[in-house]
Structure 1
Amino acid sequence: MADFLLSRTIVCIHNCLLSSAEIDQIRKSKEIDKSLEQEKTFVKKLVKILLLGAGESGKSTFLKQMRIIYGQDFDQRAKEEYRDTIYSNVIKGVRVLVDAREKLHIPWGDPENQVHGETMMAFDTRSSIMAKGMVETKVFLNYLPSIRALWQDSGIQNAYDRRREFQLGESVKYFLDNVDKLGQLDYLPSQKDILLARKPTKVIHEYDFEIESVPFKMVDVGGQRSERKRWFEWFETVTSILFLVSSSEYDQVLMEDRQTNRLTESLSIFETIVNNRVFASVSIILFLNKTDLLEEKVKNVNIKDYFPEFTGDPHNLPDVQKFLVDCFRNKRRQSQEEPLYHHFTTAINTENIRLVFSDVKDTILHHNIKGFFCPNY
């Protein structure tokens, strides 16, 4: 008891000798120390996930789904921005189809639509707003009559049927089939519209969310060749990599060089990532995306024409999917004890992504942060 009183007396004398400014400084210092300690704990717990893969594999769509699923839906301003992006997607898509019809020497269904085609090709793509991938409502409405007429033309439809021979956004048909809805003055995109809106990732997008008190940071760093040099900036402290592949693109070539097979490009990128020593302790999970498009494509397009080593039934979806998984599994140069975790996904299907990511979350936490939920961690 005497020692306790002596200690309190010393503290009291010490505080009395300190000025109020010095006391305040000590208090602030303790608050900073506490904040830093909390930050260290947060960093230890933070699950940092990189979305990697070639361009148009569905990374941005997946990130949108995380936002929808984990409680941060799109507000009025975001919907207006996506509306302008959708208008841009439609105008660019129609221009591609008009140009393809001419280059493929497909005749017009109605020769009078030549005028509408010329109207679309005269659109100023160099305008500052179009360069950002956005078109205002009033501009879009001016071109709406031409867009309607062209999409109904059999020549444009024939060009669309041969879309494998040129570069066309996968969502163009959906938006053109719903062009009357897009032309309404009060149109705002639905969740599905937003998920299908296409805008190349030119800047790094991050999304922070929390699951069962566990903080997650998901990062989309872009997949076009020009963007990949920035991937390495994000490799430090990464917990897991979700590698996305467009499983339906085995018969298509890259937009960047118009020669390289898109699936071959994805395999090459995956080989670099999966064999990198930096990721020796990082879980790499393969998402074979766009299953809905693959299911339709295998009915008509023989994968053996592009990958002669395929030995199954080219029109059987499970056979084609097994071949795709084997292609990626074989890119691991050294035998690894752990299996290659993979999922077949459709990124525009919210329920599918909800279920898949629930499994992925468990895989990540189990293999990468053991003891995560231990109170003394």
Structure 2
Amino acid sequence: MPVRVPMRSLDDTDPISLALAPPQDESPDDRQKRILKERVAKQVSDEIDAQLNKERQQAKRQSKPVKILLLGQSESGKSTTLKNFQLMCEPKAFRAERASWRAIIQLNVIRSLRIILEALAAASRSGDPPSPRSSYSSYSSRESIHPDSDLLSLRTRLLPLLEIEDALKRRLATPEADHLHEISSSSATPIPTISTIFRRRTNNEVVVNSSVAWQSAFMRGTDGRESFDTQNAVDWDAEDDPGPALHARSEDMQRLWEHPTVRAILDQQGIRLQESPGFFLDELEVVTSLRYVPTDDHILRARLKTLGVSEHRMHLTDPYNGITREFRFFDVGGQRSMVRFLAEHIISFECANSEDKRARWVPYFDDVEAIIFLAPISAFDQNLAEDRSVNRLADSVELWTAITSNQLLQKTNIVLFLNKIDILQAKLASGIRFADFLPTYGLRPNDYDSVSKYLRKQFNGIMKRSSPSPRIFYCHLTHVTDPKSTAYILAGIKDMLMRSHLKESRLIL
């Protein structure tokens, strides 16, 4: 017969005491088992608490991560700069995603093809006057250029390839895209809600949310291996793989791109695909080959438009003392309203009615060690896609002024990349006059050395006039799709930030 254990009096109104009290009919054996079980549970709990306390103490002893913010308008080269950092500092991780970039390059090819086919359709409509996208064209706006029967036949054969874009979009669409936020500026036009991985298509370009891990949609599992053959990461036999279809029409696409009438029509409409990120038309034979795998150079040139802010963590080692630090890069999507909102409000905490926004964004932008600001100086003759009345170079100057004049950023290192110098050189050499778009340039020579020197001086002058306190002007003339020259610049920036961070941590003198 079970022995009744005496019970202490309980307050019937105390649910915690009732829950912790032993059963009224508990036997001595059950009591021993319960006590042993409680001891084991307490031991496990104590071990967890000790481990958490140990981790907290280690976190206190370690230096804070180095936070770097990448800023610049859309197509300024932020994502390419980040890819260069990954290639330089974490090459294994960079190349592990090689298979996924194959699909993005295929998307780039289809987007370029779509632009050409739409330009041909516009030119074939009789009586339609050309509508230049830029102020420069070597053809008179009164000329009428129409595609011949050969071009129209090529267009008909290539139109089915445009369906590849929808197939790739279906593979990119993942459930994780639903966990997103709506961000809006209280003082201006609201920033669009990002509710799906594809918010919209701007100029026939796929737009994805930067927080979604889209790479996994195009890669087979690696089974936890540190290294693997990229060929094995691609599902070559997938029914929806666009590779065979692109290969079958590769010669037609090459004929289309090399046709002199196509070049004339594009030029008349102010379309310069060679200057666009994700331009692969000169390498169609390579990128449409069967079992094509992107090179590092192709990945750097691949274009995937993103919205939102993405965080990328890397561990970089100081070559002088072997100390490793965590670097966190925050890539701000180039949408104009987003960039301006961050530059003018989030960082400076000056936005009215922005308590919720501060709480959401402060973890990203608190204690920013450095800002890498990219200004695409080749875009001096182009206008913003978001606002055709605003010159792209003027927009970069306006944003640069907002950043350098910010009171809370006066101690933050700001590194300026005057980017896309290769395209700038080509434009000036072709006869496009810089002074036609920036009258303040005056009668200075229309060559790269003179123009780049002028722009460097102008950006430096803005910093000197607007900065709340004196600061060093770090400026580089860059072509971030050139991995060799960019790696040299980024290595210098990494060492500068590493040593600056170690000095603040008092780890070096």
TM-score by length of 2: 0.63
Query: Is 2:146 aligned against 1:107?
Result: yes
Unaligned runs of 5+ in 2: 1-37, 124-129, 131-143, 173-205, 207-217, 219-240, 319-323, 347-360
**Quick one: which of 34, 48, 52 aligns to 2:71?**
52
Does the residue aligned with 1:188 lie in a helix, a strand or coil?
coil
Aligned to 1:38: 58
Q: Which amino acid aligns with 1:261?
A: N
Instruction: Answer with 347-356 or 70-79: which moved more.
Output: 70-79
CA distance, structure 2, for counterparts of residue 216 and residue 256 of structure 1? 32
State whether residues 303 and 310 of structure 1, in contact with CA within 8 Å, keep that contact through their aligned partners in structure 2.
Answer: yes
How do 1:66-81 residues align onto structure 2 when only pairs under 5 Å count? 66-73=85-92, 78-81=97-100
Quote the offset at 1:186 in angstroms.
1.1
Q: Which amino acid aligns with 2:496?
A: T
Instruction: Answer with 115-124 or 150-159: which moved more.
Output: 115-124
CA distance, structure 2, for counterparts of residue 346 and residue 120 of structure 1? 33
**Quick one: which of 105, 110, 113 aligns to 1:86?**
105
Quote the offset at 1:281 in angstroms.
1.7
Instruction: Answer with 48-57 or 87-96: which moved more.
Output: 87-96
Instruction: Answer with 135-144 or 335-344: which moved more.
Output: 135-144
CA distance, structure 2, for counterparts of residue 170 and residue 69 of structure 1? 25
Q: Which amino acid aligns with 1:148?
A: Q
Aligned to 1:3: none
Aligned to 2:413: 283
State whether residues 238 and 282 of structure 1, in contact with CA within 8 Å, keep that contact through their aligned partners in structure 2.
Answer: yes
How do 1:235-250 residues align onto structure 2 when only pairs under 5 Å count? 235-250=365-380
Aligned to 1:351: 484
CA distance, structure 1, for counterparts of residue 73 and residue 98 of structure 2? 26
- 1:196-254 CA distances to partner (integer Å, 9 max, x unpaired)? 11111235333322222122111212112254346732322211100011121111111
Aligned to 1:196: 301
Aligned to 2:440: 309
Q: Which amino acid aligns with 2:477?
A: F
Aligned in 2, Cα 1:272/1:118: closer, same or farther, shift over 3 Å? farther
CA distance, structure 2, for counterparts of residue 284 and residue 179 of structure 1? 39
CA distance, structure 2, for counterparts of residue 31 and residue 367 of structure 1? 32
CA distance, structure 1, for counterparts of residue 381 and residue 336 of structure 2? 19
Aligned in 2, Cα 1:221/1:136: closer, same or farther, shift over 3 Å? farther
Aligned to 1:214: 325
Quote the offset at 1:276 in angstroms.
1.7
CA distance, structure 2, for counterparts of residue 311 and residue 34 of structure 1? 65
State whether residues 244 and 286 of structure 1, in contact with CA within 8 Å, keep that contact through their aligned partners in structure 2.
Answer: yes
Instruction: Answer with 255-264 or 70-79: which moved more.
Output: 70-79
Quote the offset at 1:77 in angstroms.
6.6
Query: Is 2:154 aligned against 1:116?
Result: yes
Does the residue aligned with 2:86 lie in a helix, a strand or coil?
helix
CA distance, structure 1, for counterparts of residue 146 and residue 61 of structure 2? 66
Q: Which amino acid aligns with 2:396?
A: S
Quote the offset at 1:258 in angstroms.
2.8
Quote the offset at 1:107 in angstroms.
3.1
Aligned to 2:471: 338
How do 1:112-191 residues align onto structure 2 when only pairs under 5 Å count? 112-120=150-158, 123-124=162-163, 127=166, 129-130=168-169, 133=206, 136-141=242-247, 143-161=249-267, 165-166=270-271, 168=273, 170=275, 175-191=280-296
Aligned in 2, Cα 1:147/1:340: closer, same or farther, shift over 3 Å? same
- 1:319-355 CA distances to partner (integer Å, 9 max, x unpaired)? 2112212332333443542232111111112221221
CA distance, structure 2, for counterparts of residue 222 and residue 173 of structure 1? 17
Aligned in 2, Cα 1:69/1:223: closer, same or farther, shift over 3 Å? same
**Quick one: which of 4, 29, 53 aligns to 2:49?**
29
CA distance, structure 2, for counterparts of residue 130 and residue 155 of structure 1? 32
TM-score by length of 1: 0.83
Query: Number of residues paired by the alignment?
Result: 356
CA distance, structure 2, for counterparts of residue 368 and residue 172 of structure 1? 34
Aligned to 2:452: 321
Does the residue aligned with 2:113 lie in a helix, a strand or coil?
helix
Q: Which amino acid aligns with 1:112?
A: D
Does the residue aligned with 1:56 lie in a helix, a strand or coil?
coil
State whether residues 278 and 302 of structure 2, in contact with CA within 8 Å, keep that contact through their aligned partners in structure 1.
Answer: no
Instruction: Answer with 20-29 or 186-195: which moved more.
Output: 20-29
Q: Which amino acid aligns with 2:253?
A: I
State whether residues 61 and 195 of structure 1, in contact with CA within 8 Å, keep that contact through their aligned partners in structure 2.
Answer: yes
Quote the offset at 1:144 in angstroms.
3.0
- 1:269-327 CA distances to partner (integer Å, 9 max, x unpaired)? 11222212221221111111112222222222211000010146342322211221233
CA distance, structure 1, for counterparts of residue 95 and residue 499 of structure 2? 38
State whether residues 242 and 287 of structure 1, in contact with CA within 8 Å, keep that contact through their aligned partners in structure 2.
Answer: yes
Aligned in 2, Cα 1:173/1:362: closer, same or farther, shift over 3 Å? closer
Unaligned runs of 5+ in 1: 1-17
Does the residue aligned with 1:287 lie in a helix, a strand or coil?
strand
Between the two proteins, what is the percent identity of the paired residues?
Answer: 27
CA distance, structure 1, for counterparts of residue 308 and residue 97 of structure 2? 17
Instruction: Answer with 140-149 or 167-176: which moved more.
Output: 167-176
Quote the offset at 1:125 in angstroms.
7.8
CA distance, structure 1, for counterparts of residue 337 and residue 157 of structure 2? 32
How do 1:256-271 residues align onto structure 2 when only pairs under 5 Å count? 256-271=386-401
Aligned to 2:185: none
Aligned in 2, Cα 1:183/1:166: closer, same or farther, shift over 3 Å? closer
State whether residues 52 and 241 of structure 1, in contact with CA within 8 Å, keep that contact through their aligned partners in structure 2.
Answer: yes
CA distance, structure 2, for counterparts of residue 337 and residue 115 of structure 1? 63
CA distance, structure 2, for counterparts of residue 167 and residue 259 of structure 1? 19
RMSD of Structure 2 on Structure 1 (CA):
3.0
